[in-house]
Structures are given as structure tokens and as C-alpha cells.
Structure 1
Amino acid sequence: MMLVTRILYAKNINKGKLKALNEQAQILGKLRSQIWQEYGALKCLNTSDRKIRDLWVKEKREFKVLANAWKETLRDSFNNIKLYLEVAKTSIKKDIFKHYKTKEEQKEAFIQLKKDEWLKDHFLHRKMRKAFKHGKNSVFNQIIVRSDDYKVFELNNQCWISIPSLIKNKRIKIPLNTTMEYKPSGTLRLIIKNKVVEVHSSYEKRTNRACGNGIIGIDKGYSEVFATSNNEFLGNGLGKILTQYSDKLKVKYQRRNKLLALMKKAQKNNQLEKANRISKNNLGKIKQNKENHKVKQRLKTLIYNACHQVVDKAKVVVCEDLKENFSKNTSYGKNTNRRLNSWVKGLIAAALIKCNSVQRFCIAFSQSCIHFAMR
């Protein structure tokens, strides 16, 4: 089994509920900033979120949110700080091997690093000071809801969740874009983006899906996702989506730039009302972000379906490695270059790796495929 995140969306949420969620997220964001300010450096060593929580309860600190809300925010923020610390430790491992020559010295250094005793060693302390700088918070749009602190119910064949608000015994009921078959479970993370509420929950995904028995070579394409060594084309229509959206964005941003120039001209001539009107009504990104999200979801569906079609037939998949950038000396013209820049080769590679974690097949990357005469 593999633990993955499922993202659900609030459907037709009214302005009052959205305002209440935003207000709660802002208060919890200030609490996150306070936690990072106080424990975002050396003070996080040799302590835990549980100890901090008990200390704050003992000090009778007052928060403008309910107890479970600030406790879960504390746990989440402190886990992020610890993750930041572990990343800093990982980044200096090569320096340890270079500085300490014997295996005994290296082992002792790694033990000190693991036990958070690196302050005693001057070399480790110096390296960690550079890698583990004081962090700060930039998250003001998230709410963490504990697994036993919300209710899931069905209304009009639609899944709803009921979460605590800022007022005790008063809850916010949120309709979701799913049914009870895919209801959220476990700890929830609510993220408010551009007046859209995302509900992140985790679930266990089966990893025992059977793969095929053959050997297939694949070539990542632009007009389609894959061309296989069996003379099959999978994921047809990829290039059509990319080209149409790239051309649409070109026209859209050309017009936006004209409006931006008008706004700057109005500001220069002290026509502030006109400039503010253009900025408010013509240069927003809410609709554009929604459209970007829809196109990305269409591309992901097409690419993942193509990946599963390959893996259902093959146990060994050989494909080209496109990590290296293409030659910058070659130009195909403005429009073609722009369209090629929108190619989602990274998403295709990530989809293959994720399918591997589900179906357990062998995947080999190479710059040139000598077995199947793929470029």
C-alpha cells in the first residue's frame, strides 16, 4: 500500500463561509509566523511540538482560535521546521566525507548530526550555520483539521464536511465536488487559493496492479505522448492541446501588455482612478489561474492514461532521458519555439515513475536507445 494525497474542491461555497475560512486561515498564519520566529533556528533542537504545546498551556497563552486549531497548526509548523533541519543535514554530508578522513571520525560526525549535538563540533557548527539559516513563514491560507474534529455527511447525493469555526459549537459546512464513495479521511489540510477552497486528504493506494510481460521501447513525442516500438501512438491529441493553449495565451498576454502600458501611462499622468480601474478589472489572474488548472488536469489525464497503457503491456520499458536541454543554437522560428517550450516532458517522466511505484515494472532511461532505434 502507498499513502497518497487526494485533492477535493469546495463546490458552490457561499461568500460568508469563504470569508470565515479566510479569517481563520489568517489568524493561524500569524501563529505560524510566531512559531517560525521563535523556533525556526537553534531553539528547535532537543524539543518537540508536544513540549511546546504543554508549555503554552501552562503559560495560559491566549489564541483567537479554538484549542484544536492552534495545536494542529503548531504540530504542522514544527514538523516543517524539523524537515528544514533534516534537509540542511543532508546538504552537508559531502562536506563531512571531505573533511574527515577516517571512517571513525566520519561515523562520529554523523552520530553528532543525528543526535543534534553538532553544536559541540566547530566544523559541523560552521557548516550548519550556513545550511540551516533562520526560517520564516509565508503561509497564511491553510487550516489543519484533526481527523476526529470534523464530520462527513451526504446531502443531495453530494459529500459535505463540517469543520469547526472561530466560534465554539458553531461549525462551517462545506460542500465538496465528490460523492461519499471518495469521502475525505484522516487529517485534513484546507488551502484557500484565489477564492477556491482545496481539501487535501490522504488515502492508501493499492500497489499490486499487474503489469505486462513484454519489453517495449517508447519515444516521448509532442503530437502524442508516446510512440512505441510496436508502432503504436498513445496519448493522441497532446500537441493539439498544447498548441491551442499556447497560441491562446500569446494573444491574451499581448492584449494584457497593451493594457499594462495604458495603466503605467495613466499613473505617469496622475490619472490614478483610470489606472486603478484598469488594474482591478482587466489585469486580474483569477480566471486565468482557473483555466491553467483545467488545462493541466486535462494534460495529466491524457499522459497518465498513456503511461498505464504502456505498462499494462510491458514489464521492461526503455525510454530516452530528456533531462538535458536541447541545443540553444537551433531555432525553429518564434511560434514553433514558443510551442515547444510548453512541452510537458517533465510531467511525462514523473508519470512514468509514479506508474512504476504502482505497477512495479522496470524502467531504463538513456540518451539514445540502441535496442529500438529510437533517437
Structure 2
Amino acid sequence: MDTIIKTVKQYSYELDEVTLKELKFIANQYKNVKNYVYSRFSGINSIPLLGKERQIRDEWVKTNFAEQWKLPARYWKLALSEATGNIKSQWSNIKRRIREQIKVNDNLSNEDKHYINYILKFDNYYYKVLTNQIFNIPKIFQDKQLNYKYLNNLIKRYTRKYKGNIPYSKKGATFSMDTGLYSYKNGHINITCVKKGKRLPIRLTDSNIRNSTLKVKIIENKVEIHCPLKVKTKENNNQENVIGIDKGYKYLFAVSSGKFYGENLNSYLSKETERLNKVNKNRNRFWALYNQYLEEGTIKNANRVKESNLGRVKYNHNKVKHDQTVKSYINYSLNQLIKEEKPTEIVMEQLDFVNWNDKYPKSIKRKLSRWIKGYIRERLEYKSALNSIEYSYINPAYTSKVCTVCGEFGLRSGDVFTCSKCGKSHSDTNASKNILKRKYDKEITLYTNYKKVKEVLENRLNHHLRC
């Protein structure tokens, strides 16, 4: 039976000021190490150093460079490893997005695409292309008549487009610990601190003992400890049942079977949006008063307004509380879907290529922006793997704009999809059925350009009308 990683959490009781101060110092220095690595090694010129973390570490030790962090060596080594891992992931994502784009670029021949993929596969070639260095064309392409200058410029252009900003950790509220940095005893976890040979005892709300690299997160005056565990996947003995789902906001999931799950999601998001609008309106009023006092030179009044009315503790607490409520509801809805639908495979949209600004109006985006990025997708994939359910992604182009019965282009307005031939139906159900059908469509692949998708759908409709 397969296993997957499940993150479990441990919680502490309230910490005293001395312990809290020490933990915050470790977290802040841990953040500083990561930010230095990001700023120093995220650039193009650092590509040759990817995968050479040990070399960087040895240099820091040899030159005493690491002493500036004032942390036990295990901490900064973990921070270094974490940051370099994130940088490697960033470059992997850049290459993935370039590969996805060249798949849908109709101006490139198969040989052009082969060359670009080959360059992306090897860091030494990729680095030389990005830094405009002259290099010998790989042997397998030497007899090809390719426009290498154009292709290399295209690689550079795509890289600039997808590289984004240098990663940066703003808040020093988390740090990692390997097994040599902590121990459990009498309901406490004892964490290595800055002073040599000393550990901070932190009382936990449970007596579980973990034995892996942990992540410590400081939340107000407590800590939350995240521990990855290997758990066995559940056996799926259901009869073959492939379902399509459409993810939205009013209904979390609309299924091709005609059922809906997560009907109360919009209510949760609307209430929070209204609450935040009211709170922020009041806070803006106090900020204006604060700035007015500063301009008048009455610093004492300005500080009183800031301390009494512009604090972040309650504000952040309510935000976290809401996010946890929404997360809990998303997981509950997913569990209900799996329990009632009994799927062996879930088909859903690959929305990486969809313009977020076009998919939802501004009022809805304001609510959806409260979601933790990627949480729904992450939980879908996790629960599918846990329950031995396969999942696959399809090209989302026009799944919500054509009738699933006759293929006619229709009009979607809220919950209603109107087809001039078949009449009205529920828009989300119509989309989920199209998503399921798209899985078996051999002409429309995941990376087919949306213009090509429309052309294929129109040709099918015209052929159907002629027949």
C-alpha cells in the first residue's frame, strides 16, 4: 500500500516573555539567513551553484561568515538548505512554464521545441544562453537548420517573463528544527536556543512525540509545531466512476452527476467581506486622526490613538479565525463529495492558463482573495491521493460557454446557462459535464491554445448542422 505525507500539528500553552523573546530572535535570524541566500543566489549568475549547497556551507564555515547570524550551526544550515531548495523550485517552475508555453506556440516547429526543451534540461546550456555566452551547438542539432539566435532569444524572453521577483521573507515567525535541535520530555518539547548547552522547555497541549524535521510557527504568544508524517493511503474498492467537477465560489464544487457540495461557501466569504469592509472603514478613520495629530505636533495624542485603535493583534486573530473556518468547511465539503460520489477518478480544470481578471467579476475576486492561494487545489490532490483516487486536469477553454448536449455556444449568467436550442440549465452543472467530456477529447489537449479550442468546437458544430 502506498504512503503519502500528512502534516499534523502540536500546540503550546501561552509562553512567558523570556521564552517568546528567545524564539522570536531565532525565527528572525532564521529569516535573515534565508533572505541573504535569496538575494545572493536567486540570480541568473548563480545557476551553476544550484545543487552545490554543501560548497556554500563549507565556505561560510571556513571564512567564519556564518558567525554573523549568532545562531547554532544546525539552524543556519537548515535555513540555507530551505532557501536553496526554494530557489531550485523557482527555477524548476520557470522551466515548466516555458515548456508549457512552447507547447502551445504554433510558430515553433517540433525541432524548435525539441531544441528549447534540450537547453532547459541542462543547466550549463541554459546558463550560457541566459548570459549570452558562445557555446558549441549540441551534436544532435548540428545537422538541423534552426534559427538558433531566435530560439535563444525566445528562451531569454520567456525567462524574463516568468522569473518574477527575488523571494523574500517579510515576517520572522517560523523556523525549522531537525532532530538534533529538540527533544521531548514530560509533556514538553525542549528546543535548542542561542546559548550553548541550553534548551527552552515549552509545554504542549498533547503528549505525542515526533521524530522528524519540524517547523515551528509563532502565533501571538504561542507556538504551533508542524510535523510531516507518512500515512498509508486508503484502499479504493469502488466501481469505476469518473466524475467531472467545476470549482466556483457560490458552490464550492458542482459535479457532473448534478450534485453540489459546499453550498454555504459564499455565505462565509460574504460575511467576512462585509466585516472587513466595516473594520477597515473604521481603521481608516483612526489613521486619518492619527496623521492629523502628527501634523499638529501632538505626538502624545497620536500615540494614544495608535495604541488603542490601530493594533494588529485582534485584527490578525479574527483573520486567522476566519481562514481556519473556511479551510474546515472546504475539507468537510471535500469529504462529503468523496463519500457520496465514490469516485475512482476526478477530472478538473487546469486554471494556470486562465486570466483571473476575466474569470470572475471584481466583487467575487474580493471574496476569493481571502482564500489561501492554492489551498483548494492542494486539498483536492491530497485527499484524492489519500483515498486512492486518480485526478487529472483538462484544458478549461470554453467549458462554461458551450452546451454539453448539442455543443452550441450559449450564454452564462450567474447560475443559469442558456442554449438557444436546448433551453436553460444550471451553468455549473453544464460546465462540470463539459469538463468530464473534455477528458476524452483527443483533439483538445491540456496545452491546446484557446483560439484553436474555439476553432475545433466551431468546426464540430458546423459539421453537426450540415449533417
Alignment of 1:153-168 (within 5 A): 153-155=185-187, 160-168=188-196
- Which TM-score applies when normalising by structure 2? 0.63
Q: Which residue of 1 aligns with 2:16?
A: 14
SS at match of 1:265: helix
1:149 aligns with 2:153: no
Q: Which residue of 2 aligns with 1:172?
A: 200
1:210 aligns with 2:212: no
Q: How many residues align?
A: 361
Alignment of 1:32-71 (within 5 A): 32-41=34-43, 42-43=45-46, 45-46=48-49, 48-61=52-65, 62-63=67-68, 64-71=70-77
- Which TM-score applies when normalising by structure 1? 0.76
* Greater shift in the superposed pair: 277-286 or 104-113: 104-113
- Cα RMSD (Å): 4.1
Q: Which residue of 2 aligns with 1:370?
A: 404
Q: Which residue of 2 aligns with 1:72?
A: 78
Alignment of 1:261-340 (within 5 A): 261-312=288-339, 313-315=341-343, 325=358, 328=361
Match among 264, 267, 272 for residue 245 of structure 1: 272
Counterpart code for 1:74:
L
Looking at structure 1, the residues matched to 57 and 348 of structure 2 have their Cα atoms a distance apart, in angstroms, of 51
1:144·1:189 contact (CA, 8 Å) conserved in 2? yes
* Greater shift in the superposed pair: 135-144 or 222-231: 222-231
Counterpart code for 1:167:
K
Q: CA distance change for structure 1 residues 358 and 172 in 2, over 3 Å: closer, same or farther? A: same
2:6·2:231 contact (CA, 8 Å) conserved in 1? yes
Post-superposition offset of 1:165: 0.2
Post-superposition offset of 1:153: 3.3
Looking at structure 1, the residues matched to 7 and 217 of structure 2 have their Cα atoms a distance apart, in angstroms, of 13
Match among 261, 274, 283 for residue 256 of structure 1: 283
> What is the identity percentage for the equivalent residue pairs of Structure 1 and Structure 2?
22
Looking at structure 2, the residues matched to 239 and 290 of structure 1 have their Cα atoms a distance apart, in angstroms, of 21
Alignment of 1:171-210 (within 5 A): 171-180=199-208, 183-210=209-236
Post-superposition offset of 1:268: 2.7
Q: CA distance change for structure 1 residues 223 and 99 in 2, over 3 Å: closer, same or farther? A: closer
Post-superposition offset of 1:76: 2.0
Match among 326, 342, 346 for residue 367 of structure 2: 342
Q: Which residue of 1 aligns with 2:119?
A: 109
Looking at structure 2, the residues matched to 54 and 178 of structure 1 have their Cα atoms a distance apart, in angstroms, of 39
Q: CA distance change for structure 1 residues 212 and 347 in 2, over 3 Å: closer, same or farther? A: farther
Looking at structure 2, the residues matched to 347 and 55 of structure 1 have their Cα atoms a distance apart, in angstroms, of 38
Counterpart code for 1:289:
N
Q: CA distance change for structure 1 residues 43 and 342 in 2, over 3 Å: closer, same or farther? A: closer
Looking at structure 1, the residues matched to 350 and 54 of structure 2 have their Cα atoms a distance apart, in angstroms, of 46
**Unpaired runs of at least 5, structure 1:** 329-336
